[in-house]
Structure 1
Amino acid sequence: MKLIKRFIPYYKPYIGVFILDLICATVLSIIDLTFPQFLRILRATLFLEAPEVILSRLGIIAALLLAMYIVRSACRYYVSYQGHMMGAKMESGMRRELFERYEAFSFSYYDNHNTGEMMSKLVSDLFDISELAHHGPENIFISVIKIIGSLILLMRINVPMTSCLMVVVFFMAIFAVKQNKKMRATFADNRKKIAGINSSLQDTLGGIRVVKSFAGEDIEREKFDKSNISFLSSKKQNYILMGTFNAGNSLFEGLMFITVLVAGGYFIAKGQLTGEDLAIYALYINIFINPVNVLVEFTEQLQKGLAGFERFIQVMDTMPEIVDSKDAKELKDVTGVIDFKNVSFSYEEEETVLENIDLHVDAGKSVAIVGPSGGGKTTLCALIPRFYDVTGGQVCIDGVDVKTVTQKSLRSYIGIVQQDVYLFNGTIKENIAYGKPDATMEEIIEAAKNADLLNFIESLPNGFDTEVGERGTRLSGGQKQRISISRVFLKNPPILILDEATSALDNESERYIQESLDKLAVGRTTITIAHRLSTILGADEIIVLDGDGIKERGTHKELIKEGGIYEKYYRMQLGAI
């Protein structure tokens, strides 16, 4: 009931369509109930008249019935079309709501959740919810009206026989409730297992080049088979319960007909029922059983929909870790001064990554951060745009705590070039303009030119309209990196973060990319994370960072003169060249 209460408010935007849908459903039910009663009235009145009277009124009766069934057809059309559209619109709205919630989550959520599982909730779960949204109220409403209406009419024909029928229905209801509880658990398990398949599939296809390069098809096939067989096992248990449920209801349905036949024969023998009334009674039995069957079939849909909705609200009830404060202001006119004031940070249930970090960066200056892997370099930079929140201390831009401003305004002043470049499936133009969708073609061309990319683009048959493929698979690493640099040139932020932007490139590509990065860094506050120390020799300050904090700081010449950790790193790389 808690789930249903949470579900009801989603009907609010479509209340007019919903009410009219139920009105049409009511008309459908009344017309279906009317025909047997109409036949019973005619048998007791008109059909007892002379033949010429019957013939003279058949046209009127046919016209009346035709009008009824035209109305019935119109109602059926509305229920089928508008009812389904209502469900589809609810599904669309909920999918948007879920997508926006996913977007609101910080990096920590994605660190702990699989993309395939999230996609399963976004697609398959919401489809089942949509079907429930439309068919649920409609099926229940129609079925209840038909069951109550036919029950009243059955009572009017013969109360004792209907009472016998209700005994069978009572035991049928008890059976249905018990089976329902069992089926709900299996449907919830089905959802988890299909999410596992999606997760396995996404993982394999996303890394298909690695799979093929290591001839790992058999390994991936085994992993997929494991999740696939697990889902099959879950479905098997589900179908066992469904089979039991349907078989049991079929048996009770047969018991209803047996009850009517035996009780009807008994009451006819006692003179309490006529053969004609038993025939009409049998028509109403069919009307009575049909909605019962609809409710039985609806049980499966109900359990699927509720299982999907339960997973939906689990996500919606998860609050993003990083949110704008109620009094958050827009960050404006940033010059680029960055301060880390006694900053500490740790991931969930992990040791402290950063502790008591104090660092000041003047506007327009370049700072390079070096140190061992896992020393907190990338984490430190991720605190500036609030991809993660500090667990202690403050990160400030131009003296303003980043927690006191809106995330959107904060990130609009920060440009990031990463080692792992992500390009969206689309054209080169669309990828360059990603950070500024309203950019003019002249601005896009200028950004490409600044990243030393223009000659390459113009050499392509489709130029800026060339498709890059999924994740940019049709381009080389250097070309993808230049597109990411073009994005930042177009965005033109005062703060620039370079996260090992050239470490995955060959020496020649690195040289050209480094020239573009040097051009990009002019006039901006630049923080560079680098393993290749040759790329940061001209930095205004170099910070040596490890798990225990800042170990050394100074210019390249100063640190070499100190003969400490940095000098050791530099000599190691110099010897490797």
Structure 2
Amino acid sequence: MSESRPSSGAARSGPSANKQHGSSDPGRGGGPGGPVARLNPADLKQVRLHPVKPSRIAALFAPHKLAIAIVVLLISAASVIGLAQPFLIRAIIDDALPQQNTVLLAWLAGGLVAVAAATAAIGVVQTWMATKMGQKVMHTLRTRLFTHLQAQSLGFFTRTRGGEVQSRLANDIAGMQSVVTSTATSVASNLTTAVATAIAMAALSWRMSLLSLIVLPPAIWLSRKVALMRRDITTARQQELAGMYTQIEEGLSVSGIRLAKTLGTTGRDVARFSASSHRLVDLELRSQLAGRWRMATMGIVFAAIPALIYLAAGFPATSGGMTIGTLVAFTALQGAIFRPIMGLLNVGVQWVTAMALFSRIFEYLDMDPELKAPKNPARVDPDQAAGRVRFEGVGFAYGDGPAVLRGIDLELAPGTATAIVGPTGSGKSTLGALLPRLHDPGSGRITIDGVDVREMAPETLARIVGVVSQETYLIHASIRENLLLADPDADDATLWKALAGAQIADLVAGLPEGLGTLVGARGHRFSGGEQQRLAIARTILRNPRVLVLDEATSALDNNTEALVQEALDRLAAGRTTLMIAHRLSTVENADQLAVLDAGEITERGRPAELRASGGAFARLLAASAASATSAEAETRVAGASV
């Protein structure tokens, strides 16, 4: 299975996504039960591509068998008890009122109240139990899916849209909970109510029951016609809403606002959003007006049903001696039977919808993780690790692409610094990503103190290997919360010590809220260099024995680079360090330097020795110096022209 292939529901991200899975416009049905929903072709396609065995779904609900049985009993009890109301009304009209029997009238009236109270109480308990059970099942699925996705390699998230992952984890599971809970309860409720109501109607008057059955089919047919019209319009409206949600998500994020203001596209963005909103107005009007004449016809049909019943009751041949109380009770039952029948007609659509949602979830759960945690991890004490790193014949390629690394043999002695340099695209960052196991090598192995990193528990490896990269990520929380990600038990004194080691304690101390200062979305409250130093402080708290520095200062200006580099030097002291260097000036103090070109190590040794030898490293230095001279000359020319 291709992980990067967008599924049929890829466009369903955003709040509107859930609505696409339900029946067409609940609450707008134009009848007591609403219209019959239509199958969504996208749901059918998803189920065909990734079929789901009912046994897998049954396994999710297996721990809740008792709760399911109780919910079904409660639903059935509420349906049966509710049917007592028409018979009580018949007794009031035929017996208590004509005979002016106030005692009987009081008992019957009390019975009406008791029936209403009993069904309401049962409904509350049933809803609570069904919702709790559904939430537990969804919690299990959510947790399993989140855990499974975290086990995927970095490549999976590179190939897969973030919105697709979020949609399946949030929207699909939320929609599935709604569909599954409502479907399970509505089947039991509607089936019980429809059967019990039909039996009660037949008991009151089998002749009138036949008349109702003759009138009911055209009402269902008209309702379905309207549903088909509205479903198409509703689908278009939901797609438009999904597009608008995407515009909001992209246009009102920190990066989106920055892009719009710097490119001057705010006017065009507003126009595009306004056009989308205008299309929604048109779709909403069409949805409201769709099939109004059919709905009016159906309204006449509904009005005609009791009229025909009253008419039939006036003829001896069809009334069968029906009393007024029986007529009123029968009419009430006949009016109530339409809703459960329509609900049962919707079950097939709801089932396919639920299967499509389960299919999308299981499609991700069935992905085989590229980075598998060892079943029996090696016993390694991170606090006792010496930090000797070896790359032994390491090769790597992204998917089916060409080899990025070939036959890498490299040893990092404990406590030493090794710099990796080379032209862009030589494989430097890929080599650095293999050590913390963001990817696994296609050939060869990487060991720390003789233990293959693939044999270590992920938590153990994360404690041994720390990473500071060019792309710093800070969560939208306070400085304290960002630092505590590395060490949840650290006190404020420890946090301040880490900040001091990262050369940023004075800056944080000068903020009004200190450690409680929010860093903003993706850390935009701070400059790039400040974000880097906060990330370094976080790594200091982690206290790894092995450190990977992936071009951590390449995007900084000279002054900021000096501050960050000093913080990095303090961090690297005494640790085994692998430096992925972009600026060659940062590698002079390395104990060992390796030149990487086209995925192979072409030269290695001490920086001073390699510079003097006139080989690959010397050529890189010369090219870097020429580039710097050219940039400096351009700056002088630009200044003179000003």
TM-score (norm: length of structure 1): 0.85
Q: Give yes or no for the alignment of 1:549 onto 2:600.
A: yes
Alpha-carbon shift at residue 10 of structure 1 (Å): 4.0
Q: Give yes or no for the alignment of 1:213 onto 2:262.
A: yes
Q: Contact 1:264–1:273 at 8 Å: present in 2 too?
A: no
Write out aligned runs for 1:344-423 (5 A): 344-423=395-474
| Superposed CA offset, 1:208-245 (max 9, x none) | 3233222233565688789x6899699889969x967x
Letter in 2 for 1:436: D
Q: What CA distance in whole angstroms lies between the structure 1 residues aligned with 2:63 and 2:449? A: 45
Write out aligned runs for 1:420-499 (5 A): 420-499=471-550
Letter in 1 for 2:513: N
Give the equivalent residue in structure 2 for 1:105. 152
Q: What CA distance in whole angstroms lies between the structure 1 residues aligned with 2:85 and 2:339? A: 15
Q: What CA distance in whole angstroms lies between the structure 2 residues aligned with 1:552 and 1:234? A: 67
Give the equivalent residue in structure 1 for 2:195. 148
Q: Contact 1:3–1:309 at 8 Å: present in 2 too?
A: no
Q: Contact 1:544–1:552 at 8 Å: present in 2 too?
A: yes
Q: Give yes or no for the alignment of 1:528 onto 2:575.
A: no
Structure 1 stretch 97-106 or stretch 447-456: which is displaced more? 97-106
Change (3 A) 1:458 1:571: same
Change (3 A) 1:339 1:379: same
Letter in 1 for 2:107: I
Q: Which one of 356, 363, 380 corresponds to residue 314 of structure 1? A: 363
Letter in 1 for 2:148: R
Alpha-carbon shift at residue 31 of structure 1 (Å): 2.3
Q: What CA distance in whole angstroms lies between the structure 1 residues aligned with 2:431 and 2:290? A: 57
Structure 1 stretch 185-194 or stretch 369-378: which is displaced more? 185-194
Structure 1 stretch 324-333 or stretch 89-98: which is displaced more? 89-98
Q: What CA distance in whole angstroms lies between the structure 2 residues aligned with 1:318 and 1:534? A: 44
Give the equivalent residue in structure 2 for 1:274. 321
Give the equivalent residue in structure 2 for 1:33. 83
Change (3 A) 1:555 1:2: closer
Letter in 1 for 2:490: A
Change (3 A) 1:253 1:210: closer
Change (3 A) 1:461 1:233: closer
Q: What CA distance in whole angstroms lies between the structure 2 residues aligned with 1:77 and 1:270? A: 45
Q: Give yes or no for the alignment of 1:138 onto 2:188.
A: no
Q: What CA distance in whole angstroms lies between the structure 2 residues aligned with 1:222 and 1:144? A: 51
Q: Give yes or no for the alignment of 1:286 onto 2:335.
A: yes
Q: Contact 2:476–2:518 at 8 Å: present in 1 too?
A: yes
Q: Give yes or no for the alignment of 1:59 onto 2:98.
A: no
Aligned residues: CA RMSD? 3.9
Q: Contact 1:117–1:198 at 8 Å: present in 2 too?
A: no
Q: Contact 1:334–1:413 at 8 Å: present in 2 too?
A: yes
Q: Which one of 51, 59, 70 corresponds to residue 117 of structure 2? A: 70
Alpha-carbon shift at residue 9 of structure 1 (Å): 4.2
Q: Give SS of 2:148's match.
A: helix
Give the equivalent residue in structure 1 for 2:22. none
Change (3 A) 1:492 1:195: farther
Count matched residues: 571
Q: What CA distance in whole angstroms lies between the structure 1 residues aligned with 2:514 and 2:88? A: 74
Give the equivalent residue in structure 2 for 1:560. 611
Change (3 A) 1:190 1:300: farther
Q: Contact 1:165–1:256 at 8 Å: present in 2 too?
A: no
Write out aligned runs for 1:296-315 (5 A): 307-315=356-364
Alpha-carbon shift at residue 436 of structure 1 (Å): 1.0
Change (3 A) 1:265 1:396: same
Change (3 A) 1:115 1:199: farther
Q: Give SS of 2:476's match.
A: coil
| Superposed CA offset, 1:131-170 (max 9, x none) | 2233222222111111001111223344455356446667
Alpha-carbon shift at residue 282 of structure 1 (Å): 2.0
Q: What CA distance in whole angstroms lies between the structure 2 residues aligned with 1:176 and 1:350? A: 55
Q: Contact 2:429–2:580 at 8 Å: present in 1 too?
A: yes
Change (3 A) 1:171 1:345: farther
Give the equivalent residue in structure 1 for 2:376. 327
| Superposed CA offset, 1:495-544 (max 9, x none) | 00000011111111111211221121111110001111110012122111
Q: What CA distance in whole angstroms lies between the structure 1 residues aligned with 2:374 and 2:590? A: 35
Q: What CA distance in whole angstroms lies between the structure 1 residues aligned with 2:389 and 2:175? A: 49
Structure 1 stretch 284-293 or stretch 409-418: which is displaced more? 284-293
Letter in 1 for 2:80: I
Q: Give SS of 2:429's match.
A: helix
Change (3 A) 1:392 1:296: same
Q: Give SS of 2:485's match.
A: helix
Letter in 2 for 1:459: G
Letter in 1 for 2:194: I
Q: What CA distance in whole angstroms lies between the structure 2 residues aligned with 1:457 and 1:387? A: 31
Alpha-carbon shift at residue 91 of structure 1 (Å): 4.2
Change (3 A) 1:253 1:168: farther
Q: What CA distance in whole angstroms lies between the structure 2 residues aligned with 1:103 and 1:237? A: 44
Alpha-carbon shift at residue 568 of structure 1 (Å): 1.5
Q: What CA distance in whole angstroms lies between the structure 1 residues aligned with 2:156 and 2:215? A: 52
Change (3 A) 1:5 1:253: farther
| Superposed CA offset, 1:295-348 (max 9, x none) | 567788767655544433332333322121322334333211212222111112
Letter in 2 for 1:425: H
Q: What are structure 1's unaligned runs of at least 5 residues?
A: none
Q: Contact 2:387–2:415 at 8 Å: present in 1 too?
A: yes
Give the equivalent residue in structure 1 for 2:27. none
Change (3 A) 1:234 1:295: farther
Q: Contact 2:390–2:446 at 8 Å: present in 1 too?
A: yes
Alpha-carbon shift at residue 114 of structure 1 (Å): 1.8
Q: Give SS of 1:528's match.
A: strand
Q: Contact 2:233–2:286 at 8 Å: present in 1 too?
A: yes
Q: What CA distance in whole angstroms lies between the structure 1 residues aligned with 2:277 and 2:354? A: 23
Change (3 A) 1:160 1:63: closer
Q: What CA distance in whole angstroms lies between the structure 1 residues aligned with 2:602 and 2:320? A: 101
Change (3 A) 1:222 1:85: farther
Q: What CA distance in whole angstroms lies between the structure 1 residues aligned with 2:201 and 2:567? A: 86
Q: Contact 1:498–1:529 at 8 Å: present in 2 too?
A: yes
Change (3 A) 1:18 1:402: same
